[in-house]
Structure 1
């Protein structure tokens, strides 16, 4: 009978240890999910900034090309004509 009690106590202790470990793993999972969401938000923000910067750069090149082409066309007309 004592052996059964010891065995039952050992099983109970193992069960409690497993439950505690499962709770700990759940907490780690929640932290990892929060960190993953923060990382996702950072990446999305960086991507949006990169797209916006690329569009501004493209517009800058377009406007610079336009600003240079008009005087060069005027100069070419005066020299050629």
Structure 2
């Protein structure tokens, strides 16, 4: 997976920060978005992020996800 790839959430991932469902459980399963960033370094130093893929689902909503939760479309 690379930055700019279209992806789909293939597993059940519940978030509470979706702008249309604020403070309510919202399942991202089957939601489609685009990889905005892959977090591998910070200030020039390598990091091991728990949720390295930043996926943009809309202009107002982004989420950090793991690789096994996503599939490339």
TM-score of the superposed pair, with normalisation by structure 2:
0.12
RCO comparison, higher one (Cα < 8 Å, 6+): 2
Going by fraction, where is strand more abundant, 1 or 2? 2
Going by fraction, where is helix more abundant, 1 or 2? 1
The structure with more radius of gyration = 1
TM-score of the superposed pair, with normalisation by structure 1:
0.12
